[in-house]
Amino acid sequence: MSEEHLALVPGTLEMLVLKTLSLAPMHGWGIGDRIQQLSRDTFRVNQGTLYPVLERLQQKGWVTAEWRASENNRRAKYYLLTRAGAKRLAAEQRDWARSTRGIDLILRTEG
Amino acid sequence: MSFWLGLRFRLRTALNRQAADEETRAELADHIERQTRKHIKEGMDPATAARVAALELGGIARSRDDTAEVRSGRFLEQFAGDCRYALRGLVARPWFAITALASLAIGLGAGTAIYTVVNAALIAGLPYRDPSRLMSLSLRMPRQAPGDMIDMTWSYPKFVFLRDHQRSFASLSLYSPETVIATWGDGAQRLPGEAVSAAYFALLGATPQLGRVFSAEEDRVGGPSAVTIVSDALWRNRFGARRDVIGEVAIVAGVKHTIIGVMPPSFTGLSGDAQLWLPAVDTRDAASLTAPGAHNLQLVSRLAPGATIASAKQEVAALGVQLDATFPDDDGRWGAAAYSFDERRVNPAIRQSLELLSVAAVLVLLIVSVNLTTLFLTRSAGRQVEFAIRLALGAGRGRVARQIVTETLIVSVLGAVIGIGLAIAAVRVLATTLPVAAPVAVGSGLDFTRVSFAGVHVGAATILFALGAALVVGLTLGGVVASRVTGALQFDALRQGVTTIVARQPTFLRGGLVMIQVALAVVLLVVSGLTLASLQRTLATPLGYRTEGLLSVKITLDPGRVARDSAVALWREIIERVGALPGVQTVGAGDCAPIGDHCDGTSITPVGHGGAGRVAYRRVSPTYFRVLGTPLIRGRFFTEDEVAQRRRVAIVNRAAAREIWGNDDPLTTPIGGEPSPIDVVGIVDDARYGDLERPPEPAMYVPFRGARGGLFVRVSGDPASFAPSIRNAVRAAGPGHAMANVQIMRNKLRDATARSRLTAQIFTAFAASALLLAAIGVYGTLALSVAQRSREFAIRRALGADIPSLLGIVARQAVRLGGVGIVLGSVLAFPASRAIASVLYGVQPLEPRIYSQTAALLIGALIVASVAPVVRSARVDPRDAMRAE
C-alpha cells in the first residue's frame, strides 16, 4: 500500500474481468486480486462494484459460474469465460487498442 | 448463443430466488474471508482485517443489494416489496386509503353500472335470431290536427289484408302481450302470456325443447286452436319438468287447452316475461276477428331475402294507402308504417333517462380523477423529505418513481375491485326496477326493456374494461405524481424541510382542481335537485281521479248486436251486470282511459267568442265521473235521457273554462256548432290523462254512444281479484263483445311514475357522491394548507387565538376556494338544466330556489371540511409545532 493506487479507467472493468477469466477460471475475490497483480499494483478494483459486473456479464451470457473446490479444499464460486465472452473480449481489445492509439497520437502532437 | 445463456441465467435466478440469494451470500462471505486473510498476511490484526475487508466490499448488505439489483428477477422482487410497502403505507394512513378507495369505487362503480345498463338497453343484440332483419309494423291513425298521426295496433282483417298483399317479408306474426288466467287444481293464477301466430317462433328463431309450435291449422280462424305452449319456467314450476307433459290439458282463460310444446329457458317472447303462448285466434272472439275496427294486435315480421328495411318501409307505407281504401274510416285517412326493431328498442323516455345518466356518470368519474390527483399530490408533497432522503442515500430515481406508481396502481386496482362489486349490486337493483319503469306501451310500440334486462349482469368484458381503466388511471396518476416528486425536487427538500418544499408546489394547481370539483358537484346537485322537485310535484299534484280500487277493461261491442240494438243500450246492460257483482261499487264507461291512452282532441269556440281553443275530446257515460272520482265543480253530470236522446250537451273541465271561456260562464255560454250550439251542463275538476308529467289539459266531455270504449269499475277490496268476475259478467252480457285485459289503475299509475322515481333516485345518488367527493377534495387541500401553516397557527395560538377564530381563517379560505367553483358550477348548470327541461314537470329549469339551496349546501360542506384539519392542528402543542422546523 506504499504507492497510491489509481482507480480503474472508467468503463474498463468489464473488459479486464473478461481478460482475467480468459487466462483461467477464477472466483470473485481472485479476479479483483488478479487484476491488481497483473497491473503491477497500478489499479485497485473497487470490490463493491465487482459483483454487480459479474452478474451483468452472466446476464449477457459472456460468463458462466459454477461452484468448485478451491485450493484449500473449500468451495468457491468460479467464473468461466464463454465462447461469446471470448468473442466479446477480442472485440473490446480491438476497440481499446484503437482508442489508445488515437489518444496517443493526439497527446504526442507537438504544439 | 450468448442470448440463450443469459436467458437461462435470468430464468434460473428468477425462478429460484432463495437459492440465488443464498448463493450470493455464500460467495460474498467467501470473498470477505479471502480478503481478511490477505490483510492479516499483510500484518493487520484479525479484527481490523475483517472490518476493513467488509468495508472494502462496501458493506455486505449493500453489495448484495446491488448484485440483486442487476439481477433479472429484481423487478418482480422489488414489485412485491413495493406492494408490501405501499400497503403498509395505506394501512398507516387509513383515512387517506379510505378516501382514495371510496372515490375510485364510487366513480368506477357508477360508470360500470351505467355502462352495463346502457349496453343492455341500447347496444347489445336482442336475443332473437338475426335481429337486424326483424321489423315491427303499425297502423297509422289520424289525430285531430291535419298530418298528425299516431301508431296504432292492428285488427285481424287489416292484418290479413297486409299479409296477403306484401312481398317484403318472409313471415309475419301477430303478437299481443296478455295476462292469462290459468286455473290449476289449487286455484286461478294470472300469468304473463302472449297471443301469437304460428309463425312467431320460427320468425324469432326459437324452437321448443319439447313438443312442437302451433300448426297452420291451429292458426286458422275457427281451427282447433285450444292449444298452448308453456315456458321453461312454468314447465318446471307447475309440471315438475315432466317430459310427458305434452298432450296434457290445462284450463286457460276458462277453457281446456292441450299443451303441445315447452320453450327453452332462453325464450320468453317479445314481452320478455311470457309464461305461456296461445294462438292469437284463440284469444280473440269471432266479433273481434271480423271487425276491421277492433285494433288490439301488434304485428312483427322478418324481412324476406333481398328486401331491405328501406324497401319494406316503402312497401308498407304504400299498402297503408290501399288499406285505407279497403277499410275506410270516418276518422280520416289511415296509413301503415314499418319500423326496425332498433327504432322501437327502448321507448324514448327511457332512452333519454339513460343518456342523462351516462352524462352524470362521466361527470362523477371526472370528479373522481380530479379528486385522486389532489389527494396523491397532497400526500406526495408531505412525503418529499422521505423521497429526498432515499434519493440521497442512493436509491435510483426510477426506483422511487416505480414505488410511487406501484402505490397508485394498488389503490386504483383495489378501488376498481370494490367499484365493480358495487356495480354488480347496483345492476341487480336496476335490472328489476327498469322494466317496471317502462311506461305502459302506447299504440303499437314494442318495448324491449324487459327483454333487454332479462339477464342483465356486469359481464366479464365490462369487468376487464373497468380493471383496464383502473390500470390506466393508476399509471397516469402515478406518472404525474412521480414526475413531480423526482423531477422538481432535489436535495433541496433535505435542506429546506418539508413545508418550504410543499409551499413551492404551485398552489393554483390544487386550488384549480378543487374548484373544478366543486363546480361539477354543483352541476350534479342542481340537476338532481330539479329532478327531485319535479318528482315531488308529479306525486303531489292531484290526478283528478282516484286510482285505488279502480279497474278498467277495453271492450269492442258485438258488431252484429250494435246494428240491431243501440250501443247505448248494450253499454247500459254491461254496466248493470257488472254493477250487480258483489263488491263492485260503481261502473261507468268512456272512450279514453286515464294514464297512457291517446285520446281525441278538437277545437271549440264558445258562442260569441272570436278565437277557437283546443280541448281533449272525451266521450263518457253519465256515471263516469262518479266512478273515477273526478269532483264536480258546478252544474251536473249527464243524464241517461241526454245520452239516449242524443242531446247536444257537454261538460268541460276547469282548465277549459279558465283558458277558453275566460270571464264568461260556460254554463250560460254554449259552444258554437252545427246544427245547434252545444250546451255546457257542468264543470268538473281538472284531471291528468296521458302524460302524468304535464299539467292537465283543457278538456270537453260529451255523452258516450260509441261501440268501442273502456269499462271503468270501482270496487272495494283487492282489485286484482275482480278481473275474472268482470270478464264473466261482460261475456254473460254478450258473448260477441271483445274484451282486452282487465287493467288495474293503481298498477298503471305506479308504472307510469316508476321512471321518474328511478331517475330522481339515481341522480340523487350521483349528486350525493359528487358532494361527498368535493368535500373530500376540499378537505385534502385544507389539511395540507393547515399543515403548511402549523407554525403560524402555533404562534397565533400562543398569542391567544382560540379554535373558533382559527376555524374562521381556514373556513374563509375554504369558501374562497369553493366560491369560485360554486359560481362556475352555477353557470355550467344553466345549459345542463335546460337539457333536462323536457323530463321535468312543474319545475322551471332555472329555478332560483334549487340554485340557492345547492350553493348553501356546498358552502356548508366546505365549512364542515375545514373543521377537521383545524381541530387536528389544535391538538398539537404550540411549542412542538414551532420547534418542528
Summarize pLDDT for B619-671 with one digit per residue, the tens. Answer: 999 999 999 999 999 999 999 888 888 889 999 999 999 988 888 889 998 99
For residue A29, the chain B residue with the least C-alpha distance is B31
pLDDT of residue B491: 44
Q: Are B850 and B526 in contact (CB under 8 A)?
A: yes
Could you report the predicted ipTM of this complex, rounded to two decimals? 0.82
Q: Are B733 and B575 in contact (CB under 8 A)?
A: no
H or E, element range at B632:
strand B632-635
Cα gap B882→B885, rounded to integer Å: 7
In A27-66, the residues whose Cβ lies within 8 Å of chain B are: 27-30, 33, 46-49, 51-52, 55-56, 58-62, 64
pLDDT of residue B313: 95
CB distance from B67 to chain A under 8 Å? yes
Q: Are B535 and B835 in contact (CB under 8 A)?
A: no
Reply yes or no on whether the pLDDT at B555 is more than 80: yes
Q: Say yes or no for a CB contact (<8 Å) between B23 and A77.
A: yes
Beta bridge partners of B554: B710
Cα gap B463→B652, rounded to integer Å: 58
CB nearest A64 (choices: B5, B35, B57): B5
Nearest Cα neighbor of B448 from B461, B460, B435 is B435
Top residue of B64, B70, B71, B77 to mutate, by most chain A CBs within 10 Å, is B70
Residues of chain A in contact with residue B9, where contact means CB-CB under 8 angstroms, are 58-59, 61, 64
Top residue of A58, A64, A75, A81 to mutate, by most chain B CBs within 10 Å, is A58
DSSP A75: E
- H-type alpha helices, B383-506: 384-392, 397-437, 449-453, 460-483, 492-496, 498-504
Cα gap A5→B56, rounded to integer Å: 14
The 10s digit of each residue's pLDDT in B454-473 is 677 788 888 888 888 888 88
For residue B37, the chain A residue with the least C-alpha distance is A29
pLDDT of residue B440: 44
CA distance A10 to chain B (A): 18
Reply yes or no on whether the pLDDT at B616 is more than 90: no
Reply yes or no on whether the pLDDT at B80 is more than 80: no
Cα gap B155→B153, rounded to integer Å: 7
pLDDT of residue B521: 83
Q: Say yes or no for a CB contact (<8 Å) between B30 and A48.
A: no
Q: Are B146 and B160 in contact (CB under 8 A)?
A: no
Q: Are B170 and B305 in contact (CB under 8 A)?
A: yes
For residue B36, the chain A residue with the least C-alpha distance is A29
Reply yes or no on whether the pLDDT at B527 is more than 70: yes
Across residues B502-513, what is the average pLDDT?
Answer: 59
Angle among Cα B644, B648, B649 to the nearest 5 degrees reads 95
Cα gap B877→B599, rounded to integer Å: 77
CB distance from A94 to chain B under 8 Å? no
Residues of chain B in contact with residue A59, where contact means CB-CB under 8 angstroms, are 6, 9-10, 70-72
Reply yes or no on whether the pLDDT at B274 is more than 60: yes
Q: How far is CA B606 from the centre of its chain?
A: 46
Residue B463, C-beta contacts closer than 8 angstroms, at least 6 positions apart? B112, B420
For residue B43, the chain A residue with the least C-alpha distance is A1
pLDDT of residue B20: 74
Beta bridge partners of B195: B176, B278
Percent of chain B with pLDDT over 90: 23
CB distance from B343 to chain A under 8 Å? no
Taken in order B360, B361, B364, B370, the sign of the CA dihedral is negative
Nearest Cα neighbor of B499 from B814, B794, B802 is B794
Most confident of B213-227, B582-596, B801-815, B840-854: B213-227
Residue B878: pLDDT band with limits 50, 70, 90:
low
Percent of chain B with pLDDT over 70: 84
pLDDT of residue B626: 93
Q: Which three cell numbers stand for residue B307?
A: 328486401
pLDDT of residue B163: 94
Mean pLDDT of all residues belonging to chain B: 81
In B32-51, the residues whose Cβ lies within 8 Å of chain A are: 34-35, 38, 42
Q: Are B270 and B280 in contact (CB under 8 A)?
A: no
Top residue of B23, B57, B64, B77 to mutate, by most chain A CBs within 10 Å, is B57
Q: Say yes or no for a CB contact (<8 Å) between A48 and B57.
A: yes
pLDDT of residue B276: 93
Top residue of A18, A59, A68 to mutate, by most chain B CBs within 10 Å, is A59
Task: Please tell me chain B's helix, strand, coil percentages from 3-state DSSP, rounded to the nearest 5.
Answer: 60, 15, 25
The 10s digit of each residue's pLDDT in B432-458 is 776 655 544 444 456 676 777 767 778
CA distance B19 to chain A (A): 13
Query: What are the extents of the domains in chain B?
Result: 2-72, 74-126+347-438+449-505, 131-340, 515-541+748-885, 550-747
Residue B789: pLDDT band with limits 50, 70, 90:
confident
DSSP B737: -
pLDDT of residue B349: 63
Reply yes or no on whether the pLDDT at A24 is more than 70: yes
DSSP B789: T
Helix axes B384-392 and B397-437, enclosed angle (nearest 10): 140
Residue A9, C-beta contacts closer than 8 angstroms, at least 6 positions apart? none
CB nearest B58 (choices: A48, A76, A77): A48
pLDDT of residue A8: 74
Cα gap A35→A50, rounded to integer Å: 11
Q: Which three cell numbers stand for residue B373?
A: 390527483
Task: Please tell me chain A's helix, strand, coil percentages from 3-state DSSP, rounded to the nearest 5.
Answer: 55, 15, 30
Question: Which value, to the nearest 10 degrees, does the dihedral of the CA atoms of residues B512, B513, B518, B524 take?
Answer: 130
Residues of chain A in contact with residue B44, where contact means CB-CB under 8 angstroms, are none
Most confident of B6-20, B68-82, B95-109, B600-614: B95-109
For residue A75, the chain B residue with the least C-alpha distance is B30
Cα gap B341→B704, rounded to integer Å: 37
- Side chain identity at residue B303, one-letter code: L
Q: Are B148 and B334 in contact (CB under 8 A)?
A: no
Q: Are B583 and B716 in contact (CB under 8 A)?
A: yes
The 10s digit of each residue's pLDDT in B846-876 is 788 888 888 888 888 888 888 877 777 777 6
H or E, element range at A48:
helix A47-60
Kindly list the distances between the CA atom of residue B390 and the CA atoms of B325, B380, B387, B406, B540, in Å, as whole numbers in the listed order.
Answer: 90, 14, 5, 16, 65
Cα gap B99→B93, rounded to integer Å: 10
Across residues B150-158, what is the average pLDDT?
Answer: 87
- Side chain identity at residue B256, one-letter code: K
Query: What are the extents of the domains in chain A?
Result: 13-108
Q: Which three cell numbers stand for residue B694?
A: 304535464
Q: Say yes or no for a CB contact (<8 Å) between B56 and A47.
A: yes
Across residues B177-189, what is the average pLDDT?
Answer: 75
Residues of chain B in contact with residue A58, where contact means CB-CB under 8 angstroms, are 6, 9
The 10s digit of each residue's pLDDT in B198-251 is 999 999 999 999 999 999 999 998 889 899 999 999 999 999 999 999 999 998
H or E, element range at B198:
none
Mind giving me the DSSP string for B672-723?
Answer: P-SSSPBEEEEEE-----S-TTSPPPPEEEEE---SEEEEEEEESS-GGGGH
CA distance A70 to chain B (A): 11
Nearest Cα neighbor of B243 from B216, B275, B198, B211 is B211
Cα gap B407→B413, rounded to integer Å: 10
Q: Say yes or no for a CB contact (<8 Å) between B67 and A29.
A: no
Q: Which CATH class is domain A13-108?
A: mainly alpha
pLDDT of residue B693: 67
Reply yes or no on whether the pLDDT at B145 is more than 50: yes
Kindly list the distances between the CA atom of residue B213 and the CA atoms of B194, B252, B269, B822, in Å, as whole numbers in the listed order.
Answer: 13, 17, 13, 63
Cα gap B47→B40, rounded to integer Å: 9
Cα gap B245→B248, rounded to integer Å: 6
DSSP-derived 3-state class of residue B241: coil
pLDDT of residue B389: 66
Cα gap B238→B191, rounded to integer Å: 12
For residue A47, the chain B residue with the least C-alpha distance is B57
Pairing mode of beta strands B255-262, B227-230: parallel
pLDDT of residue B183: 77
Pairing mode of beta strands B227-230, B249-252: unpaired
Residues of chain A in contact with residue B56, where contact means CB-CB under 8 angstroms, are 47-48
Q: Which three cell numbers stand for residue B848?
A: 332560483
Nearest Cα neighbor of B517 from B833, B824, B108 is B824
Stretch among B18-32, B56-70, B235-249, B775-789 having the lowest mean pLDDT: B56-70
- Side chain identity at residue B85, one-letter code: Y
Cα gap B861→B857, rounded to integer Å: 6
CB nearest B62 (choices: A33, A48, A85): A48
Q: Which three cell numbers stand for residue B494?
A: 433535505
b/e code A80-94 from CB counts within 10 Å (16+ = b): ebbebbeebbeebee
Residue B373: pLDDT band with limits 50, 70, 90:
confident
Reply yes or no on whether the pLDDT at B127 is more than 70: yes
Q: Are B550 and B628 in contact (CB under 8 A)?
A: yes
Cα gap B19→B29, rounded to integer Å: 15
Nearest Cα neighbor of B139 from B345, B322, B351 is B322
Higher confidence at residue B54 or residue B163? B163
Size of interface A-B (CB pairs under 8 A): 85
